[in-house]
Structure 1
Amino acid sequence: MNLYTVNKKTERSFLLPTIAFIIILSYVQCTPKHQVASSFQAHTTADDPNKGLKDYYKKYFPIGVAVSMASLHGPDSALIVKEFNSITPENDMKMGPIHPSEDIYNWKNADKIVDFAVSHHIKIRGHNLCWHNQEAAWMFKGADGKPVTKELLLRRLKDHIFAVAGRYKGKIYAWDVVNEAVDDSDDTTQIYRKSNWYNICNGTDFIEAAFRYAHEADPQAKLYYNDYNSEHPVKREKIYKLLKKLIEDHVPIDGVGMQAHWKLYEPSADELRKALDEVTSLGLKVQFTELDITIRMPQPKPAPGAAPPDATSPPTPDPGYTPELEAKQIAQYKMAFDIFRQYKKFITNVTFWNVSDRSSWLDGRAGGLMGGAAAGGNTPRITKKAYPLLFDENRQRKKAYWSVVNF
């Protein structure tokens, strides 16, 4: 059709869309900034109501999401089934919640999550088998209340892994076996976190043991070491040393989970590529296991000698999800997924940590400023939205969604 031919038919065909656009524009201009940024969708050629993230990435890798029991009902469950083909239990398989005392296992929630996934033909990642946070305190104490021996601790770890991984054998295709065992400081001489596991074992034997136990419990499951800040140069090198040692010791490990709790300004593209290149050079696969990108920027540090704010100081105003912050988030998501696709040969899963901005663990964690590891039970609660995901508070696709799928 010649778009410049003017007749009554074409006038009518252009008049109605023009009126509709004016109405939408008027609505946008009269809507608060944070609402516009979070819910307005530009038309794109990729907008297919029958497709979800999993469909756009069918030729690349599974797209997953972390779920709680609340996610299995109502609008969240429908969104999960439409958009994702992998799920991770957010908290219900961690050692403390699932195994609170030596002879008690809480299977109810984990079973329901697994049943939901199986009934909808969704893959399941297990999270996690050994961690210093949300741990089972009883594991480290004997009947006399004193710390247990290394031998008893490893025996208890084996029993736990055989019980949990064994129960879901054949249903869970991959496990985060050991979580966050590497030290997070910039001290290059301190490689490992001084956790209860490390201290009682007087070293890292628990890491190797956990992988061997998991492989025995379910030989078909893929086994991952999972950590955050994996792209930061100092920690990246520490993780590399751990992985290299595990491989040299013939420990059954299949890959690395990079948690990807990221910010608007980090990691850079170069940092991300460097981390991927180091891991894949060892012959390991990569999963991005806990992806979210908070919009919260760090607060400026007080001037030297200035008194810190006291408890009565008014809180920093929350600007909401402004167009400026939205644009930075869109760019960061686009950068990340552009690189993910380039490394599709090595990436076997990308999982978002929570379903939508309606409820993110970051909203209650230091105002969403902190990246790092997924929150434990003692995390400070400060109500400040982080808007870190691809779906807004109404579970609608954000503009960041289209930056991920338009390629």
Structure 2
Amino acid sequence: MKLLKSVSLFVIASLLLGSCKSNSEKNEETASVETSSLASEKGLKDYYADYFPIGVAVSPRSLEGESAELIRAEFNSLTAENVMKMGVIHPEMDRFNWGPADAIANFAKENNLKLRGHNLVWHQQAGPWIFTTEDGKTVGKEELYQRMKAHIDSVVGRYKGTIYAWDVVNEAISDKPDEFLRKSEWLDIAGEEFIMKAFEYAHEADPDAKLYYNDYNAIIPEKRDRIYKLLKMLIDNDVPIDGVGIQGHWSIFSPTETELREAMDLYASLGLDIQITELDVSLYQWEKERRELRQGESDEFTPELEARQKEKYDMFFRVFRDYKDQLTGVTFWNVSDRYSWLDHYPVEGRKNYPLLFDEDYKRKSAYDAVAHFEDTNETEKQ
């Protein structure tokens, strides 16, 4: 009887102790179970293991907490959203800001993720030091090339062996139908040759890195044809270019399947690799110029908009799978709807929901359209 009484008291005490666990301990246990469950599920990278890497654009902050767990579970490639751009990583001629970029590079290495570099030469976020002398005058072409080379040597050299591909030149084609190249300080000082030099310097700094030209609206016929013209010019001049990056900043309105396939065929005809480098699917019509939020303008994510977004994602990835021999990567621009650059551009404060994961890092219905496809009976490439 004494033994039974002792056992009963022990059981009661254990139950009481269990019920008195702190909320933080319970939360930690719950989080541990959720993390384990997330890690055990198939992610995008697994569904597309036989097709192409699935990447995501990140900041150092997104490599923490739930966001980091989602990245590990779903993706196998990273791109630095901002911290490798010249203005951030090289703000002054003799000063580099390596910390944020190193954080992303280290996370990629620790988690066995591929890493893309974005970007080396761009008309925005270039760092004013590269175009002007100490007394404020515009530098000459040769001085500009020396500064460009020093920048590329330093940045590409630092991540040699870690970054497998670079967006070397970004958005050099004009948006104006009657112009070929975009007006910029690069073009004003050096002419179109600056594009060739950038690729030459990048190749010298890391001969094993894949080198890409990257641009938006690359599916729209009039701009597509001018991008093709530039790529053909580079190839004809034996410039070391490996591929074209199509910035997939698209929407539920465009592009059409026909436009996408025609562009993929045109770029593939050059023998270049193709990557979708900045994929998101906006709920709004494309606008280039910034503007204020209009009174009464809604940013609600309605069931109708969700259905249209799902349909568009389904079409995009069906086409992507058809081009798996030419397509060497698809990268989403940001992790989830909790943060998107489209929340601030072109309309500051207008919430957008352009990704496959919602504000709580949960899979949206569009995720199912992308991930759950039949490997057989795929649409034949047209």
Distance, in Å, in 1 between the alignment partners of 2:161 and 2:286 is 43
Q: How does 1:395-406 map to 2 (within 5 A)?
A: 395-406=361-372
Mark the CA change 1:79 to 1:314 in structure 2 (over 3 Å): closer, same or farther. Answer: closer
Distance (Å, rounded) in 2 between the aligned partners of 1:99 and 1:49: 40
**Separation in structure 1 between the aligned mates of residue 263 and residue 294 of structure 2, nearest angstrom:** 40
- Cα 1:337–1:197, aligned 2, differ >3 Å: closer, same or farther? same
Matched, 1:267 2:255: yes
TM-score (norm 1): 0.80
SS in structure 1 opposite 2:142?
A: helix
On the 8 A contact 2:251/2:286 being kept in 1, the answer is no
CA distance 1:298–1:343, change in 2 (3 Å): closer
Q: CA deviation at 1:298?
A: 6.5
Structure 2 CA distance for aligned equivalents of residues 314 and 76 of structure 1: 32
Q: Using the TM superposition, give the Cα deviation of residue 72 of structure 1 relative to its aligned residue in structure 2, in angstroms.
A: 1.0
Aligned alpha-carbon RMSD (Å): 1.7
Residues 1:134 and 2:96 aligned together: no
Shift of 1:314: 6.2
Paired residue for 2:112? 121
Partner of 1:186: 177
Equivalence for 1:340: 320
Q: Tell me, in whole angstroms, the C-alpha distance in 1 between the residues paired with 2:206 and 2:286.
A: 43
Which 4+ runs in 1 deviate beyond 4 A? none
1:295 CA drift (Å) = 0.8
1:214 matched residue in structure 2: 202
Partner of 1:159: 150
The whole-number CA distance in structure 2 between the counterparts of 1:52 and 1:276 is 26
CA distance in 1, matches of 2:117, 2:204: 16
Pairing 1:375-394 to 2, within 5 Å after superposition: 382-394=348-360
Q: State the Cα distance separating 1:293 from its structure 2 match.
A: 0.5
Q: Distance in 2 between matches of 1:49 and 1:183?
A: 46
Measured at CA, do residues 198 and 358 of structure 1 come closer, stay the same or move farther in structure 2, by a change above 3 Å?
same
Aligned-partner residue type, residue 401 of structure 1: Y
Match of 1:100 among 91, 98, 110: 91
- Is the CA contact 2:211–2:243 (under 8 Å) kept in the aligned structure 1? yes
AA aligned to 1:345 is D
Deviations along 1:156-196, whole A, 9 cap, x unmatched? 00000000000000000000000000001222xx1100111
- Distance in 2 separating the partners of 1:298 and 1:258: 16
Matched, 1:279 2:267: yes
Residues 267-308 of structure 1: CA deviation (Å, up to 9, x unaligned): 111111111111110000100000000112479xxxxxxxxx
Task: Give the drift of 1:384.
Answer: 1.3
Question: 1: CA distance between counterparts of 2:138 and 2:221?
Answer: 35
AA aligned to 1:80 is I
Per the alignment, residue 16 of structure 1 pairs with none
Instruction: Using the TM superposition, name which of 318-327 and 345-354 deviates more.
Output: 318-327
Whether the aligned pair in 1 keeps the contact of 2:274 and 2:329 (CA below 8 Å) is: yes
Change (3 A) 1:336 1:314: closer
CA distance in structure 1 between the partners assigned to 2:272 and 2:303 by the alignment: 39
CA shift for structure 1 position 50: 1.4
Matched, 1:58 2:46: no
Q: Which residue does 1:233 correspond to in 2?
A: 221
Give CA-to-partner distance per residue, 1:198-239, whole Å, 9 cap, x none: 0011x2111000000000000000000000000011100000
The answer as to 2:343 corresponding to 1:363 is yes
Distance change >3 Å, CA 192–CA 322, structure 1 → 2: same
Equivalent-residue separation in structure 2 for 1:179 and 1:126 (angstroms): 12
Whether 1:150 and 2:141 are equivalent positions in the alignment is yes
Distance 2:80 2:168 in 1: 14
Is the contact between residue 357 and residue 364 of structure 2 (CA under 8 Å) also seen in structure 1? Answer: yes
Equivalent residue for 2:235, pick from 201, 224, 247: 247
Q: Distance in 1 between matches of 2:193 and 2:297?
A: 48
* Structure with the larger RCO, 1 or 2 (CA within 8 Å, 6+ apart): 1
Distance (whole Å) between structure 1 residues aligned to residue 285 and residue 213 of structure 2? 29
Pair 1:81 & 2:49 matched: no
Opposite residue 267 of structure 2, the aligned amino acid is: V
8 Å contact kept, 2:299–2:351: no
Aligned sequence identity (%):
56
Aligned counterparts of 1:184 and 1:192: Cα–Cα separation in 2 = 9
SS of 1:282's partner is coil
Secondary structure of the residue that 1:390 maps to in structure 2? coil
Write the distance in 1 (CA, Å) between the matches of 2:235 and 2:346. 37
Q: Which amino acid aligns with 1:53?
A: L
Any stretches of 5+ residues in structure 2 without a counterpart? 1-37, 374-382
**How far apart are the structure 2 equivalents of 1:104 and 1:163?**
11
Shift in CA distance, 53/253, structure 1 to aligned 2, threshold 3 Å: same
* 1:385 Cα deviation after fit: 1.1
**Local SS of the residue matching 1:242:** helix
- Decide which of 301, 309, 312 is 1:321's aligned counterpart: 301
